[in-house]
Amino acid sequence: MNYRHIYHAGNFADVLKHAVLALVIAHLKRKDTPFRIIDTHAGIGLYDLSREEAQKTGEWHDGIGRILADSPPPEIAEILAPYLEVVHAENVAGSHGPLQRYPGSPVIARRLMRPDDRLVVNEAHPADAAALTALFAKDRAVKVLALDGWTALKSLLPPKERRGLVLIDPPFEEPGEFRRIVEGLAAAHRRFATGTIMIWYAIKDDRAVRTFAREAAELAIPKVLSAELLVRAPLSAGGLAGSGLIIVNPPFTLESQLAALLPYLAERLGQGKGAGDRLIWLTGERVTNP
């Protein structure tokens, strides 16, 4: 995968990640007290799908493109509503026509926040950090950083609001990313034990993913939910076959929402034999052996 997310904006992995992000934020808004969202690997925030990079891969056609072309059953439509409202809002007059722009996690978070909530976005890539800074230049509710994502994580926790969401979305371009995630998760939970921590991961090698799940479970964090979406079976040659989310302290409503959403996404976004989904508790609730 190319680190710069413009190549992958709106793909199947984004659909899962951003739909869940929107659901978690919606749950945080049930209480009146302010919260903070921290996005450690934020990208540029908003993606022009007419750009050469997005056109080169066209991944959004098999992701958000398929979702927008469908008419999901009412239960699924309700679950997807917070996410899709932002997608529509970033296009012409909320048009349901051809997609022009795709909102990344910073824009989704910003649109769903309330006036007293705060957002911190971090991006290490210099050009992308500059684009992110320009996007939020006049927004006092958003702080932009240009640090290594794992360094930023250490410096930003705990938030002064003592409630909120941490989104960790590493690029998976270097060896050892799963080990860094486990170490980062342990450190983040020590600093912010009551917060919701959401970590995205790539599924290329199923054995590596299962090892990662066991190591995450061995941290003995009280409540850890894992949600995975496969669009095809992993291949020996590699390549992105699916993606997953580790969610620490998930909202109590999230398990049932994902139990309905994941099979729908697997059916709608599947690209070949082996498409499917997996929803398990690594720790807490009903623990399942990963």
Catalytic residue list: 169
Strands ordered across the beta sheet of 224-230: 142-145, 118-122, 36-39, 164-168, 196-203, 242-248, 224-230, 276-283
Cβ proximity of 1 and 240 under 8 Å: yes
Dihedral angle over CA of 80, 70, 72, 16, nearest 10: -40
* Whole-number CA gyration radius for the chain: 18
Write out the DSSP string of 210-239: HHHHHHHHTT--S-EEEEEEESS---TT--
Nearest of 242, 207, 254, 189 to residue 21 by alpha carbon = 254
Work out the burial of residue 284: count CB atoms within 10 Å of its CB; fewer than 13 is exposed, 13-18 middle, 19 or more buried: middle
Q: What is the three-class DSSP state of 37?
A: strand
Q: Are strands 224-230 and 196-203 parallel, antiparallel or unpaired?
A: unpaired
